[in-house]
Amino acid sequence: MPFRFPNESDEYRTGRDALLDAEVELRAHSEAVAQQRRALPLGGKLGGDYRFEQVRAGEVSQVPFAELFGEHEHLLLYTMMFGREWDAPCPSCTSFVDGMNSNWYAVDETTAIAVVADAGPQQLLAWAEKRGWTIPLFSGGETSFILDYAGFDATDPAMCSILNAFRRTDDGVYHTWGSELLGRPMESGHPRHVDPIWPMWNLLDASAGGRGDAIVPRQDFEHRYFSKVVLGQDVDGGDCCH
């Protein structure tokens, strides 16, 4: 007998079996897309001699891009929306990096993983301490990297967000993939360019309640600059945080 949950109706099981067939197809398609992504030829060679900044032993140090790889051949680098004049980073980016941070130790067994933002190195250090992040964070505000690899139509590097992948070879560093769905949003306007690896949204998608109507994730901190400039909310009225 096929497995059934206690007291479920035949109507539920019929609908659930139809959904299960769709989930099987989605799983197969996801596997096929991942394989297609891995099979891509190398993209363009790294576009510049990028040097990021990071606080090390209390001092701001220059970090060559190649150093982000550590001992690895592959690097996943997320660009987070966080500007030098901002009081806090983008709440959505923060939620995504929360998920990255919880997995970076395991991912780093085979692939380097890090975060870059326009914000200064001291800002990033303070924010990492506040969030309890241990994932490497780098300031890219003194280079053109963010606009080169995350800009699309943006002119402000603080407003850029994308996940990029790079590969280090004997011939240099090459770009291999970027979350370019950012440039092909859905009809609703949401790009959902990193949703497949964003724990929060995937958890909510498993619930009958779904994602709700929130534009950005609810957060436990104020983000006044983001709310006013990006969301267009009246921060003076107090509706700026969640």
**Among 36, 64, 37, 33, which residue's Cα sits nearest to residue 165?**
37
**Mean pLDDT per 10-residue run, the chain (242 residues)?**
90 96 97 97 95 94 97 98 95 95 96 98 96 97 93 89 97 96 87 89 91 82 86 62 39
Q: Is residue 99 part of a domain?
A: yes
Contact by Cβ (8 Å): 101, 134: yes
Q: Which CATH number goes with the domain that contains 176?
A: 3.40.30.10
**Enclosing domain of residue 226:** 41-242
Contact by Cβ (8 Å): 29, 122: no
Q: Is residue 18 part of a domain?
A: no
Q: Is residue 26 part of a domain?
A: no
Q: Is residue 205 part of a domain?
A: yes
9-26 CB burial, b ≥16 within 10 A, e <16:
eeeeeeeeeeeeeeeeee
Residue 226 has a pLDDT of 87
Q: Is residue 179 part of a domain?
A: yes
Maximum distance among all Cα pairs of the chain, rounded to whole angstroms: 66
Quote helix, strand, coil % in the chain, to nearest 5. Answer: 40, 20, 45
- pTM comes to 0.91
Q: Is residue 91 part of a domain?
A: yes
Residue 236 has a pLDDT of 58
Q: Is residue 25 part of a domain?
A: no
Residue 241 has a pLDDT of 42
Q: Is residue 218 part of a domain?
A: yes
Residue 186 has a pLDDT of 86
Q: How many domains does the chain have?
A: 1
